[in-house]
Amino acid sequence: MAEIINMPRLSDTMEEGTLAKWFKKVGDSVKEGEILAEIETDKATMEFESFHDGVLLHIGIDEGSTAPVDSIIAVIGSKGEDISSIIKGGSVVEEEPKPVAEEEPKPVVEEEPKPVVEEEPKPVVEEEPELEIKQASLSNESTDRILISPLARKLADEKGIDIKLVKGSGDNGRIIKRDIDSYKPTNYSQFIQPRPSITESSNESQNSTMRKAIAKRLSDSKFSAPHYYLNIECEMDNMISFRKQFVNTQNIKISFNDIIAKAVSLTLARHPKVNSRWYDEKIVFYDHVHLGVAVAVEDGLIVPVVKYANSKDLFEINSEIKDFAERAKNKKLTPAEIEGSTFTISNLGMFGIESFTSIINQPNSAILSVGAIIEKPIVKNGDIVVGNTMKLTLACDHRTVDGATGSLFLKTLKEYIENPVSILI
């Protein structure tokens, strides 16, 4: 008996999937457990295995095409089995166009021609010719000859100046050297080289499944959660020294992002109201910290999750984030690795961005935006010295996180960042 293979729901937010690659073609035998295809979801590309033995009798979606969840993508059955009824049942029957009733032609009523009334020609009144009075003048404007000194003419030729446009200041309007030197053209077109013609152009690309999912989720978040933002600036000299010593002594190349991630996870454990989720009937405060770390990929943004980040050391956090980032670029993350976050951090400091605001990654209640480390003059003990600072922006959902709650969170986080040794205690 033929088995219908539907587009699976591979993540909790998946509404449609893209068939990235078929590993079987029509007529091939398929065994249970064999990889049938690769399906691209809104978050990752997953291998889809067959749950049936038989022959691949029908492929309902081509490579690169997108189909909604639960739509037919393939049929597996016995060789030679008739599946026409299955295929027909899964297809959309187009309605036959209804015949359009022909309208009877309306009789044309001929209108009687209106009599043409000839207008009497108006008499032509001959105007008396005006007397042209020419005044004798020695100026350049009344004669075809232009008075110009030989030196001025030479300079005008060298500079490409049309002497007809120059007003002379010499005797009888004669153009002299100073007129050429001080001449400023009002029309610069004579000095501009012709440019090649420029035409408008553009190109387009189809939105990927990931890009459409990002657009939908961020729009839902921005317009459903009342966002507000809190900003703070941290001194980074101690963290720069801490990282340098840690790398030299432990021989582990951790990043500033790893240290910040650890500091955030410890801060969340002390401020569970920020580590929360909104429901219409209740608010859930999480004791564990599942830290989402935004990673930029070719199609957009993906957020792998470091589970129980508050109980992991810097080496473990560094190792997981690095592994997630590499596999995210190849779309090899599993659904379990990109779901379940309780808080998210987004770091654009590596691109030189000093400060920015992020949209909350729901169902989280907040997201932290991390800016670049900037060297600049700062005040220490009443003196102006050169120091390093970093700006943080916390976006909060006002339904769960009040202003005072978010402020206390940033205060504790600032203490960890400016005294990073306390992270190890």
| CATH code of residue 332 | 3.30.559.10
What CA–CA distance (Å, rounded) separates 57 from 71?
16
Query: Which H or E element spans position 243?
Result: helix 237-250
Same domain? For 80 and 185 the reply is: no
Last residue of some domain: 189, 218, 244? 189
Query: Which H or E element spans position 220?
Result: helix 209-224
pLDDT at 285 over 70: yes
pLDDT tens digit string along 362-395? 999 999 999 999 999 999 888 999 999 999 999 9
Q: Tell me what pLDDT residue 357 has.
A: 96
Average predicted confidence (pLDDT) for the chain: 83
Same domain? For 261 and 370 the reply is: yes
SS3 content of the chain, % helix, strand, coil (to 5): 30, 25, 45
Same domain? For 170 and 314 the reply is: no
pLDDT tens digit string along 85-99? 777 765 433 344 444
Q: Tell me what pLDDT residue 254 has.
A: 92
Report cis status (omega within 30 of 0) of the bond before 115.
no
Same domain? For 311 and 392 the reply is: yes
Same domain? For 377 and 411 the reply is: yes
Nearest residue to 267 via CA among 421, 367, 408, 400 = 408
Residue type, 77: G
Q: Which residues pair with 230 in a beta bridge?
A: 394
Same domain? For 322 and 357 the reply is: yes
Last residue of some domain: 44, 60, 88? 88
Write the CATH number for 48.
2.40.50.100
Q: Tell me what pLDDT residue 94 has.
A: 38
Same domain? For 184 and 325 the reply is: no
Nearest residue to 159 via CA among 140, 184, 141 = 184
What CA–CA distance (Å, rounded) separates 136 from 378?
79
Same domain? For 256 and 405 the reply is: yes
User: Does some domain include residue 95?
Assistant: no
> Where do we find the tokens 């720069």?
240
Same domain? For 390 and 277 the reply is: yes
User: Does some domain include residue 107?
Assistant: no
What domain count does the chain have?
3
Q: Tell me what pLDDT residue 149 has.
A: 86
Q: Tell me what pLDDT residue 335 has.
A: 86
For residues 304 and 292, the answer to whether their CB atoms sit within 8 Å is yes
Write the CATH number for 161.
4.10.320.10
User: Does some domain include residue 54?
Assistant: yes
CA distances (Å), origin 368, targets 74, 186, 371:
44, 57, 10
User: Does some domain include residue 21?
Assistant: yes
pLDDT at 308 over 80: yes
Give the residue-averaged pLDDT of 270-288: 95
Query: Which H or E element spans position 373?
Result: strand 366-380
Give the residue-averaged pLDDT of 265-284: 96
- Annotated catalytic residue within 52, 227, 288, 398: 398
Same domain? For 163 and 271 the reply is: no
Same domain? For 21 and 170 the reply is: no
Please state, for a pLDDT cut of 70, what percent of the chain lies above it: 84
User: Does some domain include residue 182?
Assistant: yes
pLDDT at 27 over 60: yes
pLDDT tens digit string along 397-418? 999 999 999 999 999 999 999 9
In a 3-state reduction of DSSP, which class is residue 86?
helix
Q: Tell me what pLDDT residue 75 has.
A: 85
What CA–CA distance (Å, rounded) separates 60 from 46?
18
Last residue of some domain: 189, 221, 240? 189
58 is catalytic: no
Of the candidate ranges 68-82, 100-114, 149-163, 250-264, the one whose mean pLDDT is the lowest = 100-114
User: Does some domain include residue 133?
Assistant: no
For residues 239 and 256, the answer to whether their CB atoms sit within 8 Å is yes
> Where do we find the tokens 């009687």?
112
Nearest residue to 8 via CA among 62, 44, 48, 54 = 48
Give the residue, 117 or 264, on which the prediction is more confident: 264
Domain containing 278 equals 209-423
- The pair of structure tokens assigned to 306 is 């470091």
DSSP state of 40: E
Give the residue, 134 or 325, on which the prediction is more confident: 325
What CA–CA distance (Å, rounded) separates 303 from 328?
9
Task: Please give the torsion angle defined by the CA atoms of residues 211, 257, 253 and 248, in that order, rounded to the nearest 10 degrees.
Answer: 170
Same domain? For 254 and 358 the reply is: yes
Nearest residue to 40 via CA among 299, 294, 320 = 299
pLDDT tens digit string along 313-341? 999 999 999 999 999 888 888 888 999 99
User: Does some domain include residue 237?
Assistant: yes
Give the residue-averaged pLDDT of 112-140: 45
User: Does some domain include residue 388?
Assistant: yes
∠ CA 113-118-120, nearest 5°, is 170
DSSP state of 36: E
